[in-house]
């Protein structure tokens, strides 16, 4: 549910990513900072539709979607265009405004949350309805917590630039093992067979959930162009939902091809007066039994249950 990437907070930036589109696509970046078919899904299935080809302008496509990177080839193969969705709020729940949310999972009636920032990173069990932290394990100050997945009674947590993942017993939060990876750690989820990991680039990696060996990789694209800054992940009914860092957008991704099937515009969830002191949208969780979709953000005071609505 988080490579070579920005720090992912306006207040903790140790690098810069600049995307311009003047006389063509230019991509600069030394980016340093950074469950399960449901009875009734809370959104319509994504199907091909016809929308204009995206071009970057001030970091956003004409439709307002996140900008995409230049394609390495001169000729693009035609592909079905992604659908755009907005949302309807079903419920609003309290969320710890001190939680720098990096990973979010719903299971057995509670939320599991991974929070970030050095000296403030933690693993938590949280009551959905009240936001109360029921159980917590803090990481050592040198670790910056990132994405989180629950797989067979084990909680698997990434770190940002430490190149270390932690595995815990899901009940006791006692550490079971660590594992190493060469990239940054951003988002983590699973499809029932593989862990799916993002590193802030346009690449998703599919890992063995026990050995953590990479089984395959897929590049995420929209209209044939890579979509980078993939952050928190959630696997929902055969798709990977991904926050795109520094935006209010979620990409709905085909995990087999990497093609973006749809874009979800979540702008406006927090009122302008509620945005003071908060950071970006980040955090997706899904209740497969109830068909409920939850989203929140870093340092947000609220967590939202939403349904998705296709834009006309």
User: Domain ranges in the chain?
Assistant: 17-71+79-310
Tokens for 288?
A: 């497969």
The rounded distance, in Å, linking the Cα atoms of 129 and 303 is 10
54 or 126, higher pLDDT: 126
The rounded distance, in Å, linking the Cα atoms of 272 and 230 is 25
Q: Is the pTM of this model over 0.85?
A: no
Q: Which of 41-55, 67-81, 191-205 has the lowest mean pLDDT?
A: 41-55
Bridge partners (DSSP) of residue 148 are: 157
The rounded distance, in Å, linking the Cα atoms of 222 and 105 is 26
Residue-level pLDDT at 80 = 63
Instruction: Say if CB 287 and CB 302 are below 8 A apart.
Output: no
CATH topology of domain 17-71+79-310: Lipocalin (2.40.128)
Question: Taking the C-alpha atoms of 206, 209, 214 and 217 in order, what is their torsion angle to the nearest 10 degrees?
Answer: 0
Instruction: Say if CB 8 and CB 33 are below 8 A apart.
Output: yes
Q: What is the mean pLDDT of the chain?
A: 82
The rounded distance, in Å, linking the Cα atoms of 82 and 116 is 31
Per-residue pLDDT of 157-199, as tens digits, reads 999 999 999 999 999 999 999 999 999 999 999 999 999 999 9
The rounded distance, in Å, linking the Cα atoms of 142 and 162 is 8
Per-residue pLDDT of 252-306, as tens digits, reads 999 999 999 999 999 999 999 999 999 999 999 999 999 999 999 999 999 999 9
Residue-level pLDDT at 312 = 81
**Residue 59 predicted with pLDDT over 60:** no
For residue 88, what pLDDT band results from cuts at 50, 70 and 90? very high
Residues 6+ apart with CB under 8 A from 312: none
Tokens for 220?
A: 């995420």
User: Pairing between strand 221-222 and 225-226?
Assistant: antiparallel
For residue 238, what pLDDT band results from cuts at 50, 70 and 90? very high
Over residues 66-79, the mean pLDDT reads 44
């Amino acid at each position: 549910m988080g490579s070579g990437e920005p720090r992912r907070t306006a207040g903790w930036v140790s690098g810069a990513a600049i995307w311009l589109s003047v006389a063509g696509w230019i991509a600069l970046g030394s980016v340093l900072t950074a469950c399960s078919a449901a009875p009734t899904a809370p959104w319509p299935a994504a199907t091909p539709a016809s929308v204009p080809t995206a071009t970057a302008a001030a970091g956003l496509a004409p439709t307002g979607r996140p900008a995409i990177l230049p394609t390495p080839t001169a000729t693009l193969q035609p592909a079905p265009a992604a659908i755009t969705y907005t949302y309807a709020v079903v419920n609003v729940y309290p969320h710890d405004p001190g939680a720098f949310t990096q990973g979010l999972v719903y299971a057995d009636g509670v939320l599991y949350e991974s929070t970030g920032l050095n000296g403030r990173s933690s693993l938590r069990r949280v009551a959905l309805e009240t936001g109360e932290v029921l159980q917590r394990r803090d990481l050592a100050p040198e670790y910056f917590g990132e994405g989180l997945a629950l797989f067979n009674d084990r909680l698997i947590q990434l770190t940002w630039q430490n190149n270390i993942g932690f595995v815990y017993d899901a009940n006791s939060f006692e550490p079971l093992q660590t594992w190493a990876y060469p990239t940054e750690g951003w988002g983590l989820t699973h499809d029932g067979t593989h862990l799916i990991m993002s590193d802030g680039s346009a690449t998703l990696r599919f890992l063995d959930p026990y050995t953590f060996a990479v089984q395959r990789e897929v590049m995420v694209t929209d209209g044939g162009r890579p979509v980078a800054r993939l952050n928190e992940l959630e696997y929902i009914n055969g798709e990977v939902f991904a926050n795109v860092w520094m935006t209010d957008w979620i990409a709905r991704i085909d995990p087999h091809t990497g093609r973006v099937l749809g874009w979800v515009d979540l702008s406006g969830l927090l009122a302008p007066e509620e945005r003071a002191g908060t950071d970006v949208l980040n955090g997706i969780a899904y209740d497969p039994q109830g068909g409920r979709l939850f989203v929140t953000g870093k340092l947000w005071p609220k967590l939202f249950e939403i349904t998705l609505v296709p834009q006309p």
